[in-house]
Amino acid sequence: MPNIIQLTHVHKAYTLGQLKQPVLHDISLTISSGEFVAIVGPSGNGKSTLLNLLTGIDRPCRGEVLVNGSALHRLREEQLSIWRGAHVGIVFQFFQLLPSLNLLQNILLPMDFVGKLPKRERLERARYLLNLVGLDEQAKQLPGQVSGGQQQRAAIARALANDPALIVADEPTGNLDSATADAVFALFSALQQQGKTLVIVTHNEDLAQSASRRIAIHAGRIHDDQYLSNTK
């Protein structure tokens, strides 16, 4: 399978007052299309920073970040927003649905931003995605009216709105009970079956074991990188 993600000698550091705090050291990594990658490791060791580099939310200090053929380290902020809308779906720990929009409208929003689909097809796709995550009954509910698990499923549906090749999720189950977390992971597995590439940061070692590849980050370096038996 072709590589969808290629990181070459990536360094990242944050400046805190007078101090420069290194977060990632010389990371080189490739992820093939269709992989389901779980990134694990202790807090504050660079997992989320790595994820932010993959989505263009953050930029490397040095090194190259190529995702789906785009050199993210060279794109401007505005180009990155447009690129993200079209090529990557992001799932956040706290769902981050817009509270004043109903679930259906939350899913329509990225489609409206990107404009890839004709207007008449967007509503049809949003309904399809809600159905996919089992929320067709709650389409007209506001986020505050549904449970945390339902919100996260809606957030996953939103991440799929523009049919991105890559889906990244930062602690997607961190705010859910274990049964709901299992259901969300099952949804990720199903997406992998459909050919999506998934990169997920998690603290939950059991859930990480259900991915096809497990990368452990420690002190800003790749400490361990192993393919699991769940490989598609």
Partner 1 sequence: MLFNLNLWQKVSADLFSHKSRSALAISSIAIGLFVIGTLLGMMDLQLGSMDNAHRQSQPSHINLILRQDADVAVAKTIKNIDGVADIDTLTQFTAQFKTSPSAQWQTGTVLFRADYQDQAYDRMTLVSGSFPRDNRIAVERLSARFSGLNSGDSIEFSTANGSEKLAIDGIIRHPFVKPPAFGGQLHFFIAEELAPIFGIPAHTFRQLLVQIKPPYSEEKARSIAGKIRAQLAVSGIAVNATLLQHPDRHWGRAIFSGIHLVLTVMAWASLALSSVLILNTVAALITQQTDQIGIMKSLGARRRTIAGIYLSEVFILSLIALLIAIPLSWAGAFYSSRWLLDVFNIELNGFVYSAQALSLMIAGGLVAPLLAALWPIWKGASMSVRQAIASYGLGADFVSHGFDRWLERTVAAWLPTLYAVALGNLLRRKARLLWTQSVLIIAGVLFIVIMSLIASVNLTLNNELARSRYAVRIGFAQDQSADLVNDIVRTIPPTVAVEFWQRLPAELLQGDKLIRQSGSLGLQMIGLPADTTMYRPLIVAGRWFDPSDDRQKQLVINAETAELNGIQVGDTVNAKLMQQPARAWQVIGLYRGFAGSGYAVEAVYAPLSAMQPDSLNAHKHAFALLSADIHSLAEEKTYVDALKTAFEQQQIKLDFYTTLAKLEQRRFAENQFRPMTRMLLGLAVMIAAVGGIGLSGTLAIGVLQRTREIGVLRAIGASSSAIFKLFMLEGLFHGCLAWLISIPLAFLLAEPLAKQLGTTMLGIELDFVFSLVSVGFWLGFVLILALLAAYLPARQASRIVVRAGLSY
List of residues contacting partner 1 (CB under 8 A):
52, 55-58, 77-78, 80-82, 84-86, 89-90, 92-102, 105, 108-110, 112-114, 140, 142-145, 158-159, 161-162
- For the bound state, the minimum distance from the C-beta of residue 175 to partner 1, rounded and expressed in Å, comes to 8
* Among 64, 75, 72, residue whose Cα is nearest residue 28: 64
- For the bound state, the minimum distance from the C-beta of residue 37 to partner 1, rounded and expressed in Å, comes to 19
Q: Which one, 164 or 220, has the nearer CB to partner 1?
A: 164
Q: Which one, 35 or 58, has the nearer CB to partner 1?
A: 58
* Among 211, 217, 187, 156, residue whose Cα is nearest residue 36: 211
- For the bound state, the minimum distance from the C-beta of residue 192 to partner 1, rounded and expressed in Å, comes to 21
For residues 49 and 12, is the Cβ–Cβ distance under 8 A? yes
Q: Which residues pair with 31 in a beta bridge?
A: 5
Q: Which one, 80 or 132, has the nearer CB to partner 1?
A: 80
- For the bound state, the minimum distance from the C-beta of residue 231 to partner 1, rounded and expressed in Å, comes to 29
Q: Which one, 122 or 214, has the nearer CB to partner 1?
A: 122
Instruction: List Cβ neighbours of 161 (8 Å cut-off, separation of 6 or more).
Output: 89, 107, 108, 109, 110, 111, 125, 126, 129
Paired tokens of 149: 């698990």
Q: Which one, 2 or 144, has the nearer CB to partner 1?
A: 144
For residues 36 and 84, is the Cβ–Cβ distance under 8 A? no
- For the bound state, the minimum distance from the C-beta of residue 178 to partner 1, rounded and expressed in Å, comes to 18
